[in-house]
A and B are shown apart, each in its own frame.
Chain A
Protein backbone atom coordinates (compact mmCIF):
# COMPACT_ATOMS: atom_id res chain seq x y z
CA UNK A 1 0.00 0.00 0.00
CA UNK A 2 1.38 3.40 -0.96
CA UNK A 3 1.97 6.11 1.59
CA UNK A 4 -0.85 8.28 0.25
CA UNK A 5 -3.38 5.48 0.37
CA UNK A 6 -2.45 4.63 3.93
CA UNK A 7 -2.91 8.25 4.89
CA UNK A 8 -6.34 8.30 3.33
CA UNK A 9 -7.34 5.10 5.09
CA UNK A 10 -6.21 6.49 8.42
CA UNK A 11 -8.25 9.60 7.82
CA UNK A 12 -11.40 7.55 7.30
CA UNK A 13 -10.63 5.37 10.32
CA UNK A 14 -10.40 8.49 12.45
CA UNK A 15 -13.77 9.64 11.19
CA UNK A 16 -15.57 6.47 12.20
CA UNK A 17 -15.81 6.99 16.00
CA UNK A 18 -17.33 10.49 15.90
CA UNK A 19 -19.70 9.41 13.16
CA UNK A 20 -20.81 6.38 15.14
CA UNK A 21 -21.30 8.55 18.15
CA UNK A 22 -23.38 11.12 16.27
CA UNK A 23 -25.38 8.75 14.14
CA UNK A 24 -26.21 5.95 16.61
CA UNK A 25 -29.29 7.73 18.04
CA UNK A 26 -30.45 8.55 14.54
CA UNK A 27 -30.11 4.92 13.55
CA UNK A 28 -32.05 3.90 16.65
CA UNK A 29 -34.84 6.36 15.89
CA UNK A 30 -35.03 5.38 12.24
CA UNK A 31 -35.18 1.65 12.94
CA UNK A 32 -37.74 1.97 15.72
CA UNK A 33 -39.97 4.02 13.45
CA UNK A 34 -39.88 1.16 10.96
CA UNK A 35 -40.12 -1.77 13.42
CA UNK A 36 -43.28 -3.39 14.65
CA UNK A 37 -43.77 -3.34 18.45
CA UNK A 38 -42.48 -6.90 18.78
CA UNK A 39 -39.16 -6.06 17.11
CA UNK A 40 -38.79 -2.83 19.07
CA UNK A 41 -38.51 -4.70 22.36
CA UNK A 42 -36.68 -7.83 21.19
CA UNK A 43 -33.39 -8.71 22.89
CA UNK A 44 -30.94 -8.72 21.30
CA UNK A 45 -32.44 -6.11 18.96
CA UNK A 46 -32.61 -7.11 15.30
CA UNK A 47 -30.04 -4.61 13.90
CA UNK A 48 -31.11 -4.83 10.29
CA UNK A 49 -33.01 -8.06 9.78
CA UNK A 50 -36.56 -7.07 10.60
CA UNK A 51 -39.68 -6.64 8.48
CA UNK A 52 -40.11 -2.88 8.01
CA UNK A 53 -43.55 -1.40 8.50
CA UNK A 54 -44.97 2.07 7.80
CA UNK A 55 -47.76 1.62 10.36
CA UNK A 56 -46.26 4.11 12.81
CA UNK A 57 -46.07 6.78 10.12
CA UNK A 58 -49.70 6.10 9.22
CA UNK A 59 -50.64 6.23 12.87
CA UNK A 60 -48.80 9.49 13.49
CA UNK A 61 -49.76 11.50 10.45
CA UNK A 62 -53.15 10.09 9.47
CA UNK A 63 -54.78 8.81 12.65
CA UNK A 64 -53.21 11.37 14.96
CA UNK A 65 -52.59 15.10 14.29
CA UNK A 66 -48.84 15.08 13.62
CA UNK A 67 -49.56 16.55 10.19
CA UNK A 68 -50.93 19.66 11.91
CA UNK A 69 -47.92 19.83 14.22
CA UNK A 70 -45.61 19.62 11.23
CA UNK A 71 -47.44 22.50 9.57
CA UNK A 72 -47.36 24.54 12.79
CA UNK A 73 -43.65 23.92 13.17
CA UNK A 74 -42.98 24.93 9.58
CA UNK A 75 -45.03 28.14 9.78
CA UNK A 76 -43.57 29.17 13.11
CA UNK A 77 -39.98 28.39 12.14
CA UNK A 78 -40.10 30.10 8.75
CA UNK A 79 -42.01 33.16 9.94
CA UNK A 80 -39.89 33.73 13.02
CA UNK A 81 -36.68 33.25 11.04
CA UNK A 82 -37.85 35.74 8.42
CA UNK A 83 -38.80 38.30 11.07
CA UNK A 84 -35.54 37.87 12.98
CA UNK A 85 -33.50 38.20 9.77
CA UNK A 86 -35.21 41.38 8.61
CA UNK A 87 -35.16 43.15 11.97
CA UNK A 88 -31.78 41.79 13.03
CA UNK A 89 -30.00 42.53 9.76
CA UNK A 90 -31.14 46.15 9.74
CA UNK A 91 -30.12 46.57 13.38
CA UNK A 92 -26.77 44.91 12.72
CA UNK A 93 -26.12 47.20 9.78
CA UNK A 94 -26.87 50.25 11.88
CA UNK A 95 -24.56 49.03 14.65
CA UNK A 96 -21.79 48.20 12.20
CA UNK A 97 -21.90 51.38 10.15
CA UNK A 98 -23.41 54.33 11.97
CA UNK A 99 -21.46 56.19 14.59
CA UNK A 100 -23.96 56.53 17.44
CA UNK A 101 -23.41 59.01 20.26
CA UNK A 102 -22.33 58.05 23.81
CA UNK A 103 -20.61 54.89 22.55
CA UNK A 104 -24.04 53.41 22.01
CA UNK A 105 -22.75 51.08 19.30
CA UNK A 106 -20.87 49.12 21.90
CA UNK A 107 -23.41 49.42 24.70
CA UNK A 108 -26.34 48.43 22.52
CA UNK A 109 -24.46 45.47 21.07
CA UNK A 110 -23.58 44.15 24.49
CA UNK A 111 -27.07 44.78 25.82
CA UNK A 112 -28.56 42.86 22.90
CA UNK A 113 -26.17 40.00 23.56
CA UNK A 114 -26.91 40.02 27.28
CA UNK A 115 -30.54 39.08 26.59
CA UNK A 116 -29.20 35.67 25.60
CA UNK A 117 -27.18 35.21 28.76
CA UNK A 118 -29.89 34.25 31.20
CA UNK A 119 -31.53 30.83 31.04
CA UNK A 120 -34.64 30.64 28.90
CA UNK A 121 -36.72 29.31 31.79
CA UNK A 122 -36.43 32.72 33.49
CA UNK A 123 -38.60 34.35 30.87
CA UNK A 124 -41.14 31.57 30.52
CA UNK A 125 -43.50 32.69 33.26
CA UNK A 126 -43.59 36.39 32.35
CA UNK A 127 -44.00 35.47 28.70
CA UNK A 128 -46.85 33.14 29.58
CA UNK A 129 -48.60 35.92 31.51
CA UNK A 130 -48.03 38.43 28.72
CA UNK A 131 -49.33 36.09 26.07
CA UNK A 132 -52.32 35.25 28.21
CA UNK A 133 -53.18 38.93 28.58
CA UNK A 134 -52.70 39.48 24.88
CA UNK A 135 -54.95 36.46 24.26
CA UNK A 136 -52.21 34.87 22.21
CA UNK A 137 -51.95 31.57 24.10
CA UNK A 138 -52.33 28.58 21.83
CA UNK A 139 -51.58 30.62 18.73
CA UNK A 140 -48.73 30.37 16.29
CA UNK A 141 -48.29 34.13 16.59
CA UNK A 142 -47.14 33.77 20.19
CA UNK A 143 -44.39 31.37 19.17
CA UNK A 144 -43.38 33.50 16.17
CA UNK A 145 -42.99 36.53 18.46
CA UNK A 146 -41.03 34.64 21.10
CA UNK A 147 -38.73 32.89 18.63
CA UNK A 148 -38.08 36.14 16.78
CA UNK A 149 -37.04 37.75 20.04
CA UNK A 150 -34.97 34.71 20.94
CA UNK A 151 -33.15 34.67 17.58
CA UNK A 152 -32.61 38.41 17.26
CA UNK A 153 -29.43 38.70 19.34
CA UNK A 154 -27.89 35.88 17.37
CA UNK A 155 -28.80 37.47 14.04
CA UNK A 156 -27.56 40.90 15.15
CA UNK A 157 -24.20 39.56 16.28
CA UNK A 158 -23.62 37.29 13.31
CA UNK A 159 -24.61 39.89 10.73
CA UNK A 160 -22.80 42.72 12.48
CA UNK A 161 -19.60 40.70 12.14
CA UNK A 162 -20.16 40.20 8.43
CA UNK A 163 -20.94 43.87 7.87
CA UNK A 164 -17.89 45.02 9.78
CA UNK A 165 -15.69 42.78 7.61
CA UNK A 166 -17.03 44.32 4.42
CA UNK A 167 -14.93 47.23 3.10
CA UNK A 168 -16.71 50.56 3.57
CA UNK A 169 -15.46 51.71 0.18
CA UNK A 170 -18.10 49.62 -1.57
CA UNK A 171 -21.04 51.31 0.13
CA UNK A 172 -19.41 54.69 -0.17
CA UNK A 173 -18.93 54.08 -3.89
CA UNK A 174 -22.60 53.16 -4.14
CA UNK A 175 -23.60 56.37 -2.34
CA UNK A 176 -21.39 58.52 -4.55
CA UNK A 177 -22.85 56.72 -7.55
CA UNK A 178 -26.18 58.11 -6.43
CA UNK A 179 -27.74 55.26 -4.51
CA UNK A 180 -29.53 55.69 -1.19
CA UNK A 181 -28.34 53.99 2.00
CA UNK A 182 -31.08 51.40 1.73
CA UNK A 183 -30.46 50.94 -1.99
CA UNK A 184 -26.78 50.37 -1.32
CA UNK A 185 -27.70 47.90 1.41
CA UNK A 186 -29.90 45.86 -0.88
CA UNK A 187 -27.96 46.15 -4.13
CA UNK A 188 -24.37 46.02 -2.87
CA UNK A 189 -24.06 44.96 0.76
CA UNK A 190 -26.60 42.16 1.10
CA UNK A 191 -25.56 40.27 -2.04
CA UNK A 192 -22.01 40.27 -0.69
CA UNK A 193 -22.97 38.92 2.73
CA UNK A 194 -25.46 36.43 1.26
CA UNK A 195 -23.42 33.42 2.48
CA UNK A 196 -23.45 34.82 6.00
CA UNK A 197 -27.14 35.56 5.76
CA UNK A 198 -27.80 31.99 4.64
CA UNK A 199 -25.75 30.52 7.48
CA UNK A 200 -27.56 32.72 9.98
CA UNK A 201 -30.92 31.69 8.54
CA UNK A 202 -30.10 28.01 8.89
CA UNK A 203 -29.23 28.46 12.56
CA UNK A 204 -32.39 30.42 13.27
CA UNK A 205 -34.49 27.80 11.53
CA UNK A 206 -32.89 24.97 13.47
CA UNK A 207 -33.34 26.75 16.79
CA UNK A 208 -36.98 27.56 16.09
CA UNK A 209 -37.69 24.12 14.69
CA UNK A 210 -36.24 22.36 17.73
CA UNK A 211 -37.44 24.71 20.44
CA UNK A 212 -39.34 22.88 23.15
CA UNK A 213 -39.70 24.87 26.36
CA UNK A 214 -41.64 27.91 25.13
CA UNK A 215 -43.74 25.80 22.80
CA UNK A 216 -44.67 23.52 25.68
CA UNK A 217 -45.76 26.39 27.92
CA UNK A 218 -47.42 28.61 25.34
CA UNK A 219 -49.33 26.00 23.33
CA UNK A 220 -51.51 23.24 24.65
CA UNK A 221 -53.91 22.56 21.80
CA UNK A 222 -53.47 21.20 18.30
CA UNK A 223 -54.03 24.73 16.91
CA UNK A 224 -50.47 25.79 17.52
CA UNK A 225 -48.63 22.77 18.93
CA UNK A 226 -45.27 22.16 17.26
CA UNK A 227 -43.61 18.83 16.50
CA UNK A 228 -41.27 18.66 19.52
CA UNK A 229 -44.15 19.19 21.93
CA UNK A 230 -46.38 16.81 19.98
CA UNK A 231 -43.74 14.10 20.07
CA UNK A 232 -43.07 14.51 23.79
CA UNK A 233 -46.80 14.34 24.41
CA UNK A 234 -46.81 10.71 23.37
CA UNK A 235 -45.11 9.85 26.63
CA UNK A 236 -48.21 9.30 28.72
CA UNK A 237 -49.09 7.92 32.07
CA UNK A 238 -50.14 4.63 30.58
CA UNK A 239 -47.85 3.98 27.68
CA UNK A 240 -44.99 5.35 25.59
CA UNK A 241 -45.69 5.31 21.88
CA UNK A 242 -42.11 4.66 20.77
CA UNK A 243 -43.08 3.90 17.19
CA UNK A 244 -45.21 7.01 16.67
CA UNK A 245 -42.66 9.22 18.34
CA UNK A 246 -39.82 7.86 16.22
CA UNK A 247 -41.84 8.18 13.04
CA UNK A 248 -42.69 11.82 13.79
CA UNK A 249 -39.09 12.53 14.80
CA UNK A 250 -37.81 11.01 11.56
CA UNK A 251 -40.07 13.28 9.56
CA UNK A 252 -39.02 16.24 11.71
CA UNK A 253 -35.39 15.76 10.71
CA UNK A 254 -36.04 15.83 6.98
CA UNK A 255 -36.79 19.55 6.31
CA UNK A 256 -33.77 20.75 8.27
CA UNK A 257 -31.57 18.18 6.57
CA UNK A 258 -32.74 19.19 3.11
CA UNK A 259 -32.38 22.88 3.90
CA UNK A 260 -28.90 22.49 5.33
CA UNK A 261 -27.77 20.39 2.36
CA UNK A 262 -29.17 22.93 -0.09
CA UNK A 263 -27.32 25.76 1.65
CA UNK A 264 -24.21 23.73 2.46
CA UNK A 265 -22.08 25.73 0.05
CA UNK A 266 -23.11 28.99 1.72
CA UNK A 267 -22.98 27.51 5.18
CA UNK A 268 -19.28 26.69 5.02
CA UNK A 269 -18.43 30.01 3.39
CA UNK A 270 -20.67 31.90 5.76
CA UNK A 271 -19.18 30.38 8.87
CA UNK A 272 -15.64 30.97 7.71
CA UNK A 273 -16.37 34.44 6.35
CA UNK A 274 -13.94 36.97 7.70
CA UNK A 275 -11.66 34.21 8.91
CA UNK A 276 -9.54 34.51 5.80
CA UNK A 277 -9.15 37.71 3.88
CA UNK A 278 -10.00 36.96 0.30
Chain B
Protein backbone atom coordinates (compact mmCIF):
# COMPACT_ATOMS: atom_id res chain seq x y z
CA UNK B 1 0.00 0.00 0.00
CA UNK B 2 1.31 3.45 -0.86
CA UNK B 3 2.21 5.64 2.09
CA UNK B 4 2.52 9.38 2.15
CA UNK B 5 3.77 11.87 4.70
CA UNK B 6 2.51 15.38 3.97
CA UNK B 7 4.33 18.17 5.83
CA UNK B 8 4.42 16.07 8.97
CA UNK B 9 5.93 17.60 12.11
CA UNK B 10 6.25 16.32 15.63
CA UNK B 11 6.98 18.32 18.77
CA UNK B 12 7.93 16.82 22.11
CA UNK B 13 7.50 19.49 24.71
CA UNK B 14 9.23 22.42 23.04
CA UNK B 15 11.50 20.34 20.83
CA UNK B 16 10.73 19.73 17.19
CA UNK B 17 11.88 16.15 16.49
CA UNK B 18 10.39 15.82 13.03
CA UNK B 19 10.24 18.98 10.93
CA UNK B 20 7.96 19.33 7.92
CA UNK B 21 8.59 15.86 6.53
CA UNK B 22 7.12 15.02 3.14
CA UNK B 23 7.66 11.57 1.64
CA UNK B 24 5.79 9.63 -0.98
CA UNK B 25 6.37 5.90 -0.75
CA UNK B 26 5.06 3.72 -3.58
CA UNK B 27 3.27 0.46 -3.12
CA UNK B 28 5.71 -2.42 -2.70
CA UNK B 29 8.72 -0.20 -2.10
CA UNK B 30 11.42 -0.91 0.46
CA UNK B 31 12.21 2.46 1.94
CA UNK B 32 14.92 2.94 4.56
CA UNK B 33 14.89 5.90 6.92
CA UNK B 34 18.56 6.53 7.59
CA UNK B 35 20.20 8.90 10.01
CA UNK B 36 22.16 9.24 13.24
CA UNK B 37 20.39 8.76 16.56
CA UNK B 38 18.05 11.60 17.40
CA UNK B 39 17.35 12.44 13.76
CA UNK B 40 13.65 11.66 14.10
CA UNK B 41 13.58 8.47 12.04
CA UNK B 42 12.10 6.28 14.78
CA UNK B 43 9.56 8.95 15.70
CA UNK B 44 8.55 9.07 12.04
CA UNK B 45 8.00 5.33 12.04
CA UNK B 46 6.07 5.47 15.32
CA UNK B 47 3.82 8.21 13.98
CA UNK B 48 3.06 6.02 11.00
CA UNK B 49 2.24 3.15 13.37
CA UNK B 50 0.00 5.42 15.44
CA UNK B 51 2.17 5.04 18.53
CA UNK B 52 2.87 8.77 18.50
CA UNK B 53 0.45 11.51 17.60
CA UNK B 54 1.17 13.86 14.71
CA UNK B 55 1.67 17.49 15.74
CA UNK B 56 0.88 18.84 12.29
CA UNK B 57 0.57 17.52 8.75
CA UNK B 58 -1.05 14.36 7.44
CA UNK B 59 -0.12 10.71 7.10
CA UNK B 60 -1.88 8.74 4.38
CA UNK B 61 -1.96 5.00 3.90
CA UNK B 62 -3.37 3.92 0.54
CA UNK B 63 -4.70 7.43 0.04
CA UNK B 64 -6.63 7.38 3.31
CA UNK B 65 -5.75 9.90 5.99
CA UNK B 66 -4.90 7.94 9.13
CA UNK B 67 -3.91 10.66 11.62
CA UNK B 68 -6.85 9.82 13.88
CA UNK B 69 -7.01 6.08 13.22
CA UNK B 70 -5.86 4.18 16.32
CA UNK B 71 -2.88 1.85 15.97
CA UNK B 72 -4.90 -1.35 16.08
CA UNK B 73 -7.00 -0.27 13.09
CA UNK B 74 -4.14 0.80 10.85
CA UNK B 75 -3.43 -2.76 9.77
CA UNK B 76 0.34 -2.51 9.86
CA UNK B 77 2.90 -4.95 11.22
CA UNK B 78 5.94 -3.83 13.11
CA UNK B 79 9.21 -5.41 14.12
CA UNK B 80 10.67 -3.73 17.20
CA UNK B 81 14.33 -3.30 17.98
CA UNK B 82 13.77 -5.24 21.21
CA UNK B 83 11.63 -7.74 19.23
CA UNK B 84 8.91 -7.27 21.90
CA UNK B 85 8.02 -10.95 22.03
CA UNK B 86 5.39 -11.76 24.64
CA UNK B 87 7.45 -13.53 27.33
CA UNK B 88 4.56 -15.53 28.79
CA UNK B 89 3.51 -17.06 25.48
CA UNK B 90 5.08 -19.85 23.46
CA UNK B 91 6.57 -19.04 20.09
CA UNK B 92 3.49 -20.46 18.34
CA UNK B 93 1.24 -18.26 20.51
CA UNK B 94 3.44 -15.26 19.80
CA UNK B 95 3.26 -15.73 16.05
CA UNK B 96 -0.45 -16.51 16.21
CA UNK B 97 -1.31 -13.50 18.37
CA UNK B 98 -2.27 -11.13 15.51
CA UNK B 99 -4.56 -13.87 14.19
CA UNK B 100 -6.04 -14.59 17.59
CA UNK B 101 -7.03 -10.96 18.18
CA UNK B 102 -8.64 -11.01 14.74
CA UNK B 103 -10.69 -13.99 15.93
CA UNK B 104 -9.48 -16.42 13.27
CA UNK B 105 -10.49 -19.95 14.16
CA UNK B 106 -7.90 -22.15 15.71
CA UNK B 107 -7.39 -24.60 12.83
CA UNK B 108 -6.72 -21.75 10.39
CA UNK B 109 -4.39 -20.15 12.89
CA UNK B 110 -2.31 -23.29 13.25
CA UNK B 111 -2.03 -23.69 9.48
CA UNK B 112 -0.82 -20.13 9.02
CA UNK B 113 1.56 -20.18 11.97
CA UNK B 114 3.11 -23.38 10.64
CA UNK B 115 3.42 -21.91 7.17
CA UNK B 116 5.42 -18.84 8.29
CA UNK B 117 7.41 -20.92 10.74
CA UNK B 118 8.47 -23.13 7.83
CA UNK B 119 9.29 -20.08 5.74
CA UNK B 120 11.63 -18.74 8.44
CA UNK B 121 12.88 -22.19 9.50
CA UNK B 122 11.74 -21.94 13.11
CA UNK B 123 9.32 -24.90 13.19
CA UNK B 124 11.35 -26.62 15.88
CA UNK B 125 10.98 -23.65 18.24
CA UNK B 126 7.20 -23.36 18.23
CA UNK B 127 6.68 -24.89 21.68
CA UNK B 128 9.39 -22.89 23.42
CA UNK B 129 9.22 -19.62 25.30
CA UNK B 130 11.06 -16.51 24.04
CA UNK B 131 13.60 -16.58 26.89
CA UNK B 132 14.85 -19.99 25.69
CA UNK B 133 15.79 -18.55 22.29
CA UNK B 134 18.97 -16.95 20.99
CA UNK B 135 18.97 -13.40 19.65
CA UNK B 136 18.86 -14.55 16.05
CA UNK B 137 15.99 -16.92 16.74
CA UNK B 138 14.01 -14.22 18.53
CA UNK B 139 14.56 -11.97 15.55
CA UNK B 140 13.04 -14.58 13.27
CA UNK B 141 10.07 -15.02 15.56
CA UNK B 142 9.47 -11.27 15.54
CA UNK B 143 9.57 -11.34 11.75
CA UNK B 144 7.24 -14.33 11.66
CA UNK B 145 4.74 -12.50 13.85
CA UNK B 146 4.82 -9.60 11.40
CA UNK B 147 4.33 -11.62 8.22
CA UNK B 148 1.79 -14.12 9.55
CA UNK B 149 -0.93 -11.86 8.23
CA UNK B 150 -0.95 -9.65 5.16
CA UNK B 151 -0.73 -6.12 6.56
CA UNK B 152 -0.75 -2.97 4.48
CA UNK B 153 2.91 -2.38 5.27
CA UNK B 154 5.77 -3.65 7.40
CA UNK B 155 7.48 -1.25 9.75
CA UNK B 156 10.89 -2.21 11.07
CA UNK B 157 12.72 -0.31 13.77
CA UNK B 158 16.40 -1.26 13.71
CA UNK B 159 15.46 -4.94 13.63
CA UNK B 160 19.02 -6.17 13.12
CA UNK B 161 20.89 -3.95 15.55
CA UNK B 162 20.92 -6.50 18.39
CA UNK B 163 22.52 -9.24 16.31
CA UNK B 164 26.21 -9.95 15.91
CA UNK B 165 27.88 -8.84 12.68
CA UNK B 166 27.79 -12.18 10.87
CA UNK B 167 24.16 -12.89 11.70
CA UNK B 168 23.22 -9.33 10.81
CA UNK B 169 24.63 -9.74 7.33
CA UNK B 170 22.85 -13.05 6.85
CA UNK B 171 19.51 -11.67 8.06
CA UNK B 172 19.96 -8.64 5.83
CA UNK B 173 20.01 -10.88 2.80
CA UNK B 174 17.06 -12.89 4.03
CA UNK B 175 15.04 -9.78 4.73
CA UNK B 176 15.62 -8.55 1.23
CA UNK B 177 14.54 -11.86 -0.29
CA UNK B 178 11.52 -12.00 1.97
CA UNK B 179 10.37 -8.54 0.99
CA UNK B 180 10.92 -9.37 -2.67
CA UNK B 181 8.85 -12.52 -2.21
CA UNK B 182 6.00 -10.81 -0.34
CA UNK B 183 6.05 -7.55 -2.28
CA UNK B 184 4.67 -5.62 0.68
CA UNK B 185 5.60 -1.99 1.27
CA UNK B 186 8.32 -1.90 3.92
CA UNK B 187 9.63 1.01 5.93
CA UNK B 188 12.84 0.29 7.69
CA UNK B 189 14.64 2.46 10.20
CA UNK B 190 18.38 2.20 10.73
CA UNK B 191 21.47 4.22 11.51
CA UNK B 192 23.62 1.74 9.60
CA UNK B 193 24.36 3.12 6.13
CA UNK B 194 25.43 -0.31 4.84
CA UNK B 195 21.99 -1.72 5.72
CA UNK B 196 20.34 1.20 4.01
CA UNK B 197 22.40 0.83 0.86
CA UNK B 198 21.89 -2.90 0.53
CA UNK B 199 18.20 -3.14 1.45
CA UNK B 200 16.50 -0.06 0.14
CA UNK B 201 14.84 0.67 -3.12
CA UNK B 202 14.99 4.26 -1.90
CA UNK B 203 16.72 5.81 1.09
CA UNK B 204 15.43 8.79 3.07
CA UNK B 205 18.36 10.41 4.87
CA UNK B 206 17.34 12.45 7.90
CA UNK B 207 19.17 14.83 10.20
CA UNK B 208 17.75 16.70 13.18
CA UNK B 209 14.19 15.99 12.12
CA UNK B 210 14.65 17.19 8.56
CA UNK B 211 14.70 15.14 5.40
CA UNK B 212 18.05 15.65 3.66
CA UNK B 213 17.59 13.53 0.57
CA UNK B 214 15.18 10.87 -0.67
CA UNK B 215 16.56 8.87 -3.54
CA UNK B 216 17.88 5.50 -4.70
CA UNK B 217 20.99 4.19 -2.92
CA UNK B 218 23.08 4.77 -6.05
CA UNK B 219 22.03 8.39 -6.34
CA UNK B 220 22.47 8.97 -2.62
CA UNK B 221 26.01 7.67 -2.94
CA UNK B 222 26.96 9.31 -6.21
CA UNK B 223 25.02 12.56 -5.99
CA UNK B 224 24.65 13.42 -2.32
CA UNK B 225 22.44 16.45 -1.84
CA UNK B 226 24.68 17.99 0.78
CA UNK B 227 27.76 17.47 2.83
CA UNK B 228 25.90 15.63 5.60
CA UNK B 229 24.58 12.96 3.24
CA UNK B 230 27.97 12.66 1.55
CA UNK B 231 29.67 12.14 4.88
CA UNK B 232 27.07 9.81 6.40
CA UNK B 233 26.87 7.40 3.47
CA UNK B 234 29.88 5.35 2.47
CA UNK B 235 32.58 3.64 4.48
CA UNK B 236 35.21 4.84 4.92
CA UNK B 237 33.70 8.26 4.75
CA UNK B 238 34.13 10.80 1.97
CA UNK B 239 37.19 13.09 2.25
CA UNK B 240 36.60 16.79 2.57
CA UNK B 241 39.02 19.53 1.71
CA UNK B 242 38.04 22.97 2.96
CA UNK B 243 38.61 25.89 0.62
CA UNK B 244 37.54 29.46 1.21
CA UNK B 245 33.95 29.35 -0.12
CA UNK B 246 33.64 25.76 -1.07
CA UNK B 247 34.28 22.33 0.39
CA UNK B 248 35.62 19.73 -1.98
CA UNK B 249 34.58 16.13 -1.37
CA UNK B 250 36.06 12.99 -2.82
CA UNK B 251 35.42 9.38 -1.97
CA UNK B 252 38.40 7.20 -0.95
CA UNK B 253 38.11 5.00 -4.04
CA UNK B 254 38.63 8.00 -6.28
CA UNK B 255 42.03 8.84 -4.83
CA UNK B 256 44.89 6.83 -6.31
CA UNK B 257 48.12 6.45 -4.39
CA UNK B 258 51.38 6.21 -6.35
CA UNK B 259 54.80 5.36 -4.99
CA UNK B 260 56.55 7.25 -7.85
CA UNK B 261 56.06 10.88 -8.81
CA UNK B 262 53.96 11.49 -11.91
CA UNK B 263 52.77 14.50 -13.86
CA UNK B 264 50.04 16.32 -12.00
CA UNK B 265 50.29 14.09 -8.94
CA UNK B 266 50.24 15.74 -5.54
CA UNK B 267 52.90 14.76 -2.99
CA UNK B 268 51.58 13.34 0.27
CA UNK B 269 52.88 11.62 3.40
CA UNK B 270 51.63 8.25 4.62
CA UNK B 271 50.16 8.59 8.09
CA UNK B 272 49.30 4.93 8.49
CA UNK B 273 48.02 2.05 6.38
CA UNK B 274 45.34 -0.47 7.32
CA UNK B 275 45.25 -3.78 5.48
CA UNK B 276 41.66 -4.99 5.23
CA UNK B 277 42.49 -8.22 3.40
CA UNK B 278 40.92 -7.44 0.05
CA UNK B 279 42.13 -3.84 0.00
CA UNK B 280 44.21 -1.35 1.95
CA UNK B 281 43.09 1.92 3.47
CA UNK B 282 45.83 4.51 3.19
CA UNK B 283 45.61 7.46 5.58
CA UNK B 284 47.47 10.40 4.11
CA UNK B 285 48.59 13.85 5.15
CA UNK B 286 48.50 16.46 2.42
CA UNK B 287 49.59 19.74 3.94
CA UNK B 288 47.00 20.42 6.64
CA UNK B 289 44.46 17.94 5.28
CA UNK B 290 43.95 14.33 6.19
CA UNK B 291 42.71 12.03 3.43
CA UNK B 292 41.79 8.37 3.20
CA UNK B 293 42.38 6.47 0.00
CA UNK B 294 41.53 2.95 -1.02
CA UNK B 295 44.43 1.04 -2.52
CA UNK B 296 44.84 -2.56 -3.69
CA UNK B 297 45.51 -5.23 -1.08
CA UNK B 298 49.15 -5.53 -2.14
CA UNK B 299 49.89 -1.83 -1.63
CA UNK B 300 52.72 -1.31 0.84
CA UNK B 301 54.11 1.92 2.22
CA UNK B 302 56.01 2.74 5.36
CA UNK B 303 54.64 5.20 7.88
CA UNK B 304 55.89 8.71 7.11
CA UNK B 305 57.04 7.67 3.63
CA UNK B 306 56.49 9.98 0.69
CA UNK B 307 53.85 9.07 -1.89
CA UNK B 308 51.94 10.85 -4.67
CA UNK B 309 48.23 10.97 -5.25
CA UNK B 310 45.96 11.64 -8.19
CA UNK B 311 42.20 12.19 -8.02
CA UNK B 312 39.46 11.38 -10.53
CA UNK B 313 38.50 14.93 -11.37
CA UNK B 314 35.03 14.01 -12.61
CA UNK B 315 34.28 12.42 -9.22
CA UNK B 316 34.86 15.53 -7.18
CA UNK B 317 31.93 16.98 -5.23
CA UNK B 318 31.65 20.63 -4.37
CA UNK B 319 29.69 21.83 -1.38
CA UNK B 320 28.75 25.36 -0.59
CA UNK B 321 30.66 26.29 2.55
CA UNK B 322 27.72 28.34 3.87
CA UNK B 323 24.81 25.90 3.68
CA UNK B 324 26.72 22.68 2.86
CA UNK B 325 24.47 21.99 -0.14
CA UNK B 326 26.11 20.39 -3.10
CA UNK B 327 26.97 22.63 -6.02
CA UNK B 328 26.13 20.83 -9.26
CA UNK B 329 28.38 21.67 -12.17
Interface set of A (CB-CB < 8 Å, partner B)? 167, 169-170, 172-180, 183, 187-188, 191-192
Contact = CB atoms under 8 A, between A and B. Distances in A.
10 contacts: A170-B86, A172-B84, A175-B50, A176-B72, A176-B78, A177-B97, A177-B101, A178-B102, A179-B97, A188-B86
A178 B101 contact: yes
B92 to A, nearest CB: 15
**Per DSSP, are chain A's interface residues mostly helix, strand or loop, or mixed?**
helix
A175 B51 contact: yes
Given A176-B155, A192-B88, 7 more contacts: A172-B49, A172-B80, A173-B84, A174-B101, A175-B51, A176-B77, A178-B101
Contact of A178 (B51, B72, B84): B72
Given A191-B88, A192-B88, A180 B80 contact: no
A247 to B, nearest CB: 44
B273 to A, nearest CB: 44
B88 A173 contact: no
B136 interface: no
A187 B98 CA distance: 12
A170 B75 contact: no
Given A173-B80, A175-B51, A180 B72 contact: yes
Interface in B283-311: none
A72 B208 CA distance: 64
A21 B42 CA distance: 58
A177 B82 contact: no
Given A167-B82, A172-B80, A183-B101, A177 B145 contact: yes
Given A169-B80, A170-B86, A176 B97 contact: no
Interface string B45-76: 00001110000000000000000001110111
B183 interface: no
B261 interface: no
Interface of B: 49-51, 70-72, 74-78, 80, 82, 84, 86-88, 97-98, 101-102, 145, 155
A176 B87 contact: no
Contacts of A178: 72, 75, 98, 101-102
B140 to A, nearest CB: 15
Contacts, number: 58
Contacts of A172: 49, 51, 71, 78, 80, 84
A169 B84 contact: yes
A133 to B, nearest CB: 44
Contacts of B82: 167, 169
Contact of B101 (A167, A169, A179): A179
Given A176-B77, A177-B77, A167 B84 contact: yes
A103 to B, nearest CB: 12
B61 to A, nearest CB: 13
B72 A179 contact: yes
B266 to A, nearest CB: 53
Nearest to A180: B72
Contacts of B101: 174, 177-179, 183, 187
Contacts of A167: 82, 84
Contacts of A169: 80, 82, 84
A75 B70 CA distance: 41
A191 B93 CA distance: 14
A174 B49 contact: no
B98 A177 contact: yes
A134 to B, nearest CB: 40
Contacts of A175: 50-51, 70-72
Contacts of B88: 191-192
Contacts of A174: 86, 97, 101
A177 B70 CA distance: 12
B258 to A, nearest CB: 54
Contacts of B102: 178
Contacts of A187: 97, 101
A29 B36 CA distance: 69
Given A177-B97, A179-B101, A170 B84 contact: yes
Contacts of A170: 84, 86-87
Q: 8 smallest A-B Cβ distances: which pairs?
A: A173-B84, A169-B84, A177-B98, A175-B71, A179-B101, A176-B78, A191-B88, A178-B101
B10 to A, nearest CB: 14
B141 to A, nearest CB: 12
Nearest to B88: A191
Contacts of B145: 173, 177
Q: Which of A173, A179, A191 has the most CB of B within 10 A?
A: A173
Contacts of A192: 87-88
B264 to A, nearest CB: 57
A191 B82 CA distance: 19
A191 B74 CA distance: 26
Nearest to B102: A178
Q: Which of B50, B72, B82, B98 has the most CB of A within 10 A?
A: B72
A94 B82 CA distance: 24
A196 to B, nearest CB: 13
